[in-house]
Amino acid sequence: MASSEASATKVRNRRDFLGTAALGGMALTAATASTAQDRTAQDGATQGRLAQGATRAQARGDSSALLGAGLKIVRVQAFPLTYPGVFAHGGVRKPNQEPGTYFEVETANGLIGHGITAISDPRAVANLTNQLVAPAVVGENAMDHEAIWSKLYWRLTPRGQTGLATHAISGVDIALWDLKGKALGVPIASLLGGARKEVPLYVTFGPSFLNRDELVDVAKAMIAQGFTHLKMVVGQAALEKRDSRPLGVVIEEDAVRVRAVREAVGPDVSLYIDGNCNFDFPSAERLVRLLEPYRISFFEEPLMQNDVRLMADLRRRTGVTLAAGQNEGMAFRFRDMLVHEAVDYVQPNVMITGGFTQTVKIAGMASAFNVAIANGGAGALQNMHLHAGLWNGGFCEWHLPFMGLCRHIYRDMPQPKNGKIAIPEAPGLGFEPNRDAIRDVTMKS
């Protein structure tokens, strides 16, 4: 790509883009185990009445029960999930096992907040939460998210470690913000600033298990549903399997797959690719060169370990627009990306990057650099509040495989319309879990 063309593409892209019980450990409770199980079994209607009661109490000035002892945390519990669903879009029907870890935080007044995380072993995350996080959080006030976040940081990641610990922190933090919204009677997006009522979406339509014809089929189906921003996976475990499958073969196949989709959807649809950190530098550069004719809007996480220096080199050498950060657990990693001009979009993900408490800080950091934020790593139903709440919010990722799990475990889940999703008016996250469905897909020990 010529430098002038790359620069024009970047400007265009930026303007466009800116528009069973928990297993593996006993959950700690302040009440008896049987009481905790009874509370866990509350259905969506009961939870709705609790939220309405909180709103009414707030309106009449009865804040002592809501903001004082009533919001003392009595239960923290995580559930490892695996959903044996079917990827059914367009004419494609394929089995797909989708994992995740579901969280609940309950307060003395009966309010329950919920959260979720993904892209790590659910049993390990649930174990960590139930054995280490719960004892640290029970007894705290649910409104004190900053104090709880700090406490968990020093308990789980005192030397800046990331990994499973930040997944557990994220899931609990999302649940705390859900509780905060329910206690105050407002959506999380409003708590964060209420910048907009809806957010634009890009749809991750192309997982690696689809062949070329299936990719084209699903891409066309998404356009028919009103999406104009589409993302597909490239790399297919390229580095992990390099001993049995040459990187060059993967790159050539990726180029053919991208070309097939571009030719099918036409020039006016924005097309994004996600490398999932599966390339070394020479391979990523080679792929970028091969894809120049197909006008890629951004290349997400192309390089192993999100290597900041190499991403900056790739961006300068090729003019490609880069995005990264969906799996990063610590804020300093985003600082390094910004300082070294390694990305065009940073992607803090509330499901992994420390919940709302830390992603708000990262968004502020990005704002100081005039760099856009975008959601990656799925979790549109949670991340939409971050992007609707903040003025520099961007697109959220409607990840088709992960949305299959979400449809199974949530009631009254908001749905996209014409490539956007509206923030629910209900308080907190704005939707509630289906606990019977969650029990059905909770992993056994």
pLDDT in tens, 173-209: 999 999 999 999 999 999 999 999 999 999 999 999 9
Q: Which of 187, 214, 229 is the last residue of a domain?
A: 187
Lowest mean pLDDT among 37-51, 229-243, 400-414: 37-51
Per-residue pLDDT, 113: 98
Is residue 94 situated within a structural domain? yes
Tell me how far apart the alpha carbons of residues 251 and 155 are, in angstroms, rounded to a whole number. Answer: 42
Token representation of residue 383:
């991340």
Summarised one tens digit per residue, pLDDT across range 93-113 is: 999 999 999 999 999 999 999
Determine, yes or no, domain membership for 439. no
Q: Is residue 443 part of a domain?
A: no
Is pLDDT above 80 for 35? no
State whether residue 345 is helix, strand or coil.
strand
Task: Give the DSSP letter of residue 201.
Answer: E
Q: Which domain holds residue 122?
A: 33-187
- Based on the fold, state whether residues 175 and 196 are members of the same structural domain: no
Residue at 430 is within a domain = no
User: What is the length of the chain?
Assistant: 445
Question: Does the structure show a pLDDT above 90 at 271?
Answer: yes
pLDDT at 161: 85
pLDDT tier for residue 260 given thresholds of 50, 70 and 90? very high
Q: Which two tokens stand for residue 202?
A: 């890009």
Is the domain of 282 the same as that of 153? no
Q: Say yes or no to pLDDT of 1 above 80.
A: no
Judgement on whether residues 133 and 250 belong to the same structural domain of the protein: no
Domain boundary among 160, 187, 214: 187
CA-CA distances (angstroms) from residue 38 to 71, 106, 130? 19, 12, 18
Within a domain: 27: no
**Looking at residue 36, what is its pLDDT?**
36
The CATH number of whichever domain residue 47 belongs to comes to 3.30.390.10
15 and 50 housed in the same domain:
no
Identity of residue 235:
G
Q: Are 8 and 115 in contact (CB under 8 A)?
A: no
Q: Which two tokens stand for residue 8?
A: 């024009």
Phi and psi at residue 415, to the nearest 5°: -120, 150
**Of 37 and 146, the one with more pLDDT:** 146
Query: Do 299 and 344 meet the contact criterion of CB atoms below 8 Å apart?
Result: no
Residues 75 and 106: beta-carbon distance below 8 Å: yes
Residue 238 lies in a domain: yes
Does one domain contain both 140 and 248?
A: no
Q: What is the pLDDT of residue 69?
A: 84
Structure token pair of residue 212: 């070329």
Mean pLDDT, to the nearest integer, of 293-320?
98
Residue 336 has pLDDT above 70, yes or no: yes
pLDDT grade, residue 15 (50/70/90)? Answer: very low
Q: Return d(Cα 97, Cα 82) in angstroms, integer.
A: 6
- Let me know: does 341 contact 321? Beta carbons within 8 Å: no
162, 328 in Cβ contact below 8 A?
A: yes
Q: Tell whether 204 and 182 lie within a shared domain.
A: no
Query: Residues near 217 by Cβ (< 8 Å), separated by ≥ 6?
Result: 90, 91, 92
Same domain, 330 and 197: yes
Average pLDDT over the chain, rounded to whole?
A: 88
pLDDT surpasses 80 at 394:
yes
| Structure tokens given for 83 | 């959903």
Q: Quote helix, strand, coil % in the chain, to nearest 5.
A: 45, 20, 30
Distance CA 40, CA 35 (A): 9
The whole-number average pLDDT for the span 14-18 is 37
* 360 compared with 47, residue with greater pLDDT: 360
Percent of the chain with pLDDT over 70: 85
Look up residue 422 and give its DSSP letter: E
Residues 249 and 265 in one domain: yes
Token pair for residue 429?
């996250």
pLDDT at residue 55 in the model: 45
Last residue of a domain, one of 155, 187, 219: 187
Q: Distance between alpha carbon 376 and the CA centroid of its chain, in Å? A: 6
Q: Is the pLDDT of residue 412 over 60?
A: yes
153 pLDDT more than 70: yes
Same domain membership, residue 319 and residue 203: yes
Residue 249 Ramachandran class (φ > 0 left, ψ -120 to 50 alpha, else beta) = alpha
End-to-end CA distance of the chain: 52
Asked if pLDDT for residue 51 goes beyond 80, the answer is: no
Q: What is the pLDDT of residue 67?
A: 65
CATH of the domain at 302: 3.20.20.120
Quick: pLDDT tens for 273-306.
Answer: 999 999 999 999 999 999 999 999 999 999 999 9
What does the block give as tokens for 28?
A: 């700690």
The SS3 call for residue 216 is: helix
On whether both 141 and 249 belong to a single domain, the answer is no
The pLDDT assigned to 9 comes to 42
Whether residue 407 is found in the same domain as residue 278 = yes
Domain total in the chain: 2
Answer yes or no: do 264 and 397 share one domain.
yes
Query: Is residue 28 one of the residues assigned to a domain?
Result: no
Among 22-26, 48-52, 250-254, top mean pLDDT goes to 250-254
Instruction: Name the percent of the chain lying above pLDDT 90.
Output: 82
Top-confidence residue, 58 or 358? 358
Is residue 432 situated within a structural domain?
A: no
Q: Mean of the pLDDT values across residues 41-60?
A: 44
Residue 380 in tokens: 């549109």
Provide the CA 41 distance to its chain's centre, in angstroms: 26
pTM: 0.87
Q: What is the pLDDT of residue 66?
A: 54
What distance in Å separates the CA atoms of residue 311 and residue 43, rounded to the nearest whole number? 47
In the structure encoding, which two tokens stand for residue 294, read together?
A: 């197909």
